Chains A and B, each alone.
Chain A
Amino acid sequence: MSMAPQTAHPPLPAARAGATEPAAPITAEAEASARQARKKNRLVALAFLAPFLVAFLLFVVWPMLHGFYLSFTNQSLTGAGGNFIGGGNYAEAFSDPKVWGSIRNTVWFTIISTVPLVIIAMAMALLVNTGLPGQWLWRLSFFMPFLLASTVISQIWSWLLDPEIGLANEVLQTLGFEPVAWLQTPHLDLISITIATVWWTVGFNFLLYLAALQNIPEVQYEAAAVDGASRWRQIRSITIPQLMPVTGVVFVLQILASLKLFDQAYQMLGGVSSDTSRPIVQYIFEAGFVGYEFGYAAAISYVFFALIVVVGIVQMTIVNRRKGE
């Protein structure tokens, strides 16, 4: 429909030609019509973007600005308050041990989940890529958990890890170990959530790695084999270096996903929050929706936002420096 004029009179190349090749003869009419086409083109583009832009403004930009404003008020979810209190919420957030404790939990979770999510995914992809029989079965079973909703995996794992009737303790006891209260013991709770998360999401990284592996040209291995390189040597000198770009992508995606930890932690612990497992996103939720302190919740989310921006800048500098090399 509205794509038709674009394909009929490609205005962009014409415009560009006018700009880069001043020597070409241009009549005034041609330039005017090009300008008109450009204008029309911009309007068409805007029309296409409009639905997204409206949603973006309404649900991203406006809440961000309004949230920032709220963080300086004592607004309550119940409509009470709403008066400007300056930096009071920020002062409270910086001195609230639960804020720092839950940021620590989130960061700790990010570290202990990202590393296995990269290493295990890579190992699984390497194994499957060696040409094991029944490739589709491996691919399917490694990727399948990723398709489940967070609610489903939370249910599965809270039953598996139940201290009394869970499979995990059944296995431990059969092997002669003491049973463990996985989700109810301080510090162990976050590790249990990490185990469930790794099982759940490792399939996505596995798929990225598998695709990357299949892109490595076979000739490189052949050349290495001719030179007498062992299998292990081939992996070290060909496969792993070639996987570096995708590893970078996986790391970035993983860190961002892990910092957002909430669903499975909230659900596996049945909404109970413990000081050793409460992620920062859950604390924001608790402050705003259980404690009704919207202003305070907004302030904490901006503190967290600032931290993520710092992480982003560090990441960008590293990536840019690497590109420079």
Chain B
Amino acid sequence: MITRRQLLGGVGALAGAGALAGCSPTGAPPGADTLQFWHLLSGGDGVTMQSLLDRINESQDDYFVRPTVLEWGTPYYTKLAMAGSGGRAPEAAIMHSSRVPGYVPGGLLDPWDTGRLAELGVSRDTFTGPMWNNSLVGDQLYSVPLDAHPFMMFSNREVLRQADVLEDGGFPAVSTPQDFVDVLREITAAAPEHGLSYGFIGDGAQMWRLFYTLYAQHGAEMSFPQGGSAQIDDEAAVESLRLMSQLVDGEIASSQGTIDAGIAEFSAGSSGLLFSGVWELPPMQDAGIDVNIEMIPPVFGQHAVYADSHAFVLPHQQDPDPEKREDTYAFVAELLKNSFDWAGAGHIPAYVPITEDPQYDELQPQANYAGAADHIVYDPKSWFTGSGANFQADFGQVVQDSIRGGDGFQEAVDGLRSMVDAILAEPNPVDPEGTWNP
């Protein structure tokens, strides 16, 4: 029997291990400004970011970047908002671009000076159009993207080869939903389990990512004007949901796959394809899968790919120290120019000179999908959308039954519209009086 002391000893050992796992940054050189930098990158991303920061800290003596890593999701965004509202925020922080429009009206972020960035070699020309435009709120630049992490189609080349559908090392060209489903059936026949691994059940974010990709392939837009009514293209939305439900028929993909189960299935080599974010690339490579990543085929006409970006922001400071601001600009520019290794984590570096570098072509399979950066669609801009916000979860609530049941698509779209309209009628909680003007 375990005695109480043994149990406590075990717990103590665990706690100790946790404390040791915390990073121990080296000290700042004398005379250097310390820049507080908050981010939400953990796991492999966190390690890569730390090595980029270490390199920058060692390369110069003007400033020293001290990172604070917080848990991603609600905890991070709550703390960042509170820091910004107090006016004593960190010098720089990483946010998901999709969350920026919700932060700006409350005065939680300071805009970037595009002139100053341009002097450091960071400008409109060094990002793709979708990324730059998404970083603007009104006509001000509020975020500087570090990457794009799109929702893509992973393929296991070995399974595709067995199914005899492999074309040019990837998925064959298809241009209609029916062709797509036909190829998927061929893969399903050859795959040990399902043709496609797609975890969606109980996970609104996963449903939204695929839905919005397919929706945008129609060339349709979606907008949520504050105080107005949601603009949604019903036909595109219904067709997108219909295709999703065809995919999760229990044969091509499981009708009740969770995100974890989908990743486990694909990394075990039991399926031919996986719909997931590019950040799953390193674990798949570690699992020894002959993996390729490409955009989900443009079955509804246009290339489109749902993505979000990690982006640098300037949390609002009441009295920014001009010298530290200067250093912050230098730091961000320097990190962007050295973000080649960031691609190792699967993300597409946002700074275009990185992906255009001939060296990038040797990075496989990253080089194959760098072009997706031109076809990115982000969440509709509003204060309640974005990664880690409630909107995606609520979306899942509204559509899950129709996707699983194979009917009621129009009702689901109606449900989405009335859900969004109800939120649009409420004031933005970071600006409850509506006093902010872009």
Interface residues of A (CB under 8 A from B): 74, 76-81, 83, 136, 140, 147, 162-165, 179, 181, 183-184, 186, 189, 269-275, 286, 289-293
Residue of B nearest to A79 (CB): B85
CA distance A241 to B390 in the complex (A): 50
- B399 vs chain A, min Cβ distance (A): 13
Q: Within the complex, what minimum Cβ distance (angstroms) separates B421 from chain A?
A: 14
Contact B432 A74 (CB under 8 A): yes
The 7 A-B residue pairs with the shortest CB-CB distance in the complex, in nearest-first order: A79-B85, A184-B202, A164-B261, A163-B256, A81-B432, A292-B429, A184-B201
Q: Taking the complex as formed, is B359 at the interface, i.e. its CB lies under 8 A from any CB of chain A?
A: no
Pull 29 A–B residue pairs with CB atoms less than 8 Å apart, ordered by A: A76-B429, A76-B430, A77-B78, A77-B85, A78-B106, A78-B108, A78-B429, A78-B430, A79-B85, A80-B107, A80-B429, A81-B433, A162-B260, A163-B254, A163-B256, A163-B257, A163-B258, A163-B261, A164-B261, A164-B265, A184-B202, A184-B258, A269-B202, A272-B203, A272-B204, A273-B390, A273-B393, A275-B397, A292-B429
In the assembled complex, which residues on chain A have CB atoms less than 8 Å from the CB atom of B431?
Answer: 80
Contact yes or no, A80 B264, CB < 8 A: no
Given the known interface contacts A78-B82, A184-B201, A290-B390, the answer about A162 and B106 at a Cβ–Cβ threshold of 8 Å is no
B397 pairs with A163, CB closer than 8 A: no
Q: Are A291 and B74 in contact (CB under 8 A)?
A: no
- A225: shortest Cβ distance to chain B, in Å? 34
Asked if A164 and B397 make an inter-chain contact with CB atoms under 8 angstroms apart, the answer reads no
User: With A162-B261, A163-B261 given, is the CB distance from A80 to B256 under 8 Å?
Assistant: no
CA distance A147 to B432 in the complex (A): 44
A79: chain B residues at CB < 8 Å are 82, 85-86, 106
Q: A271-B73, A292-B81 are in contact. List 6 more A-B contacts (CB 8 A).
A: A77-B78, A78-B106, A79-B85, A79-B86, A165-B260, A186-B401
Q: How far is the CA of A9 from the CA of B112 in the complex (A)?
A: 74
The interface bits of chain B over 264-286 (1 if a CB of A lies within 8 angstroms of the residue's CB, else 0) are: 11000000000000000000000
Q: Is B389 an interface residue (CB 8 A)?
A: yes
Residues 56-92 of B, flagged 1 when their CB comes within 8 A of A and 0 if not, give: 0000000000000000011000100110111000000
How many interface contacts (CB-CB < 8 Å) are there between A and B?
101
A275 and B431 alpha carbons, distance in the complex (Å): 27
Whole-angstrom CA separation of A79 from B87 in the bound complex = 10
**A76 to B7 CA separation, bound complex (whole angstroms):** 44
Question: Which residue of chain A is the closest to B204 with respect to CB atoms?
Answer: A272
The docked-state distance in angstroms from the alpha carbon of A286 to that of B394 is 12
Q: Per-position contact with A for B400-415: 1 when CB-CB < 8 Å, else 0?
A: 1100000000000000
Query: How big is the B interface, by class?
Result: 35 or more
How far apart are B312's CB and chain A's nearest CB, in angstroms? 20
Q: For the complex, is B21 an interface residue (Cβ under 8 Å from A)?
A: no
Which of the listed residues B108, B201, B256 has the most CB atoms from chain A within 10 Å of its own CB?
A: B256
CB distance from B30 to the nearest CB of A (A): 36
A77 touches B81 (CB 8 A): yes
In-complex Cβ contact of B258 among A147, A162, A290 (8 A): A162
Across the interface, do B393 and A272 meet the contact criterion of CB distance under 8 Å? Answer: yes
Find residues 195-217 in chain B having any chain A CB closer than 8 Å to their own CB: 201-204
Contacts A77-B82, A163-B256, A272-B396 given; indicate if A289 touches B74 (C-beta within 8 A).
Answer: yes
Among B106, B264, B265, B429: residue with most chain A CB under 10 A: B429
Q: A164-B257, A291-B390 are in contact. Are A181 and B432 (CB under 8 A)?
A: no
Please give, as numbers and ranges, the residues of chain A lying within 8 Å of B20 by CB-CB distance: none
> In the complex the two chains form, what is the Cα distance from A6 to B345 in whole Å?
68
Any A CB within 8 A of the CB of B1: yes
Q: Is the CB of A163 within 8 A of B85?
A: no
**Contact of A78 with B84 in the complex, beta carbons under 8 Å:** yes
A290 in contact with B389 (CB, 8 Å): yes
Nearest CB of B to A185, in Å: 9
Please give the distance in Å from B262's CB to the nearest CB on chain A. Answer: 8
A296 (CB) vs chain B CBs: closest residue:
B429
Interface centre among B1, B202, B260, B397 (most CB of A within 10 A): B202
Chain B residue with the shortest CB-CB distance to A289: B78
B192: shortest Cβ distance to chain A, in Å?
14
Most buried by B among A74, A179, A181, A183: A181
Residues of A within 8 A of B400 (CB): 184
| Complex CA–CA separation, A290 to B430 (angstroms) | 11
B262 to A, closest residue via Cβ? A164
Inter-chain contacts of A83 with B (CB < 8 A): 433
Question: Which of A81, A179, A286 has a CB less than 8 Å from the CB of B390?
Answer: A286
Please, which residue of chain A has its CB at the minimum distance from the CB of B260? A162
Tell me whether B429 and A291 are in contact (CB under 8 A).
yes
Cβ-defined contact, B84 with A136, below 8 A:
no
Cβ–Cβ < 8 Å partners of B260 in chain A: 162, 165
CB neighbours (8 Å) of A293 from chain B are 429
A164–B204 CB distance below 8 A: no
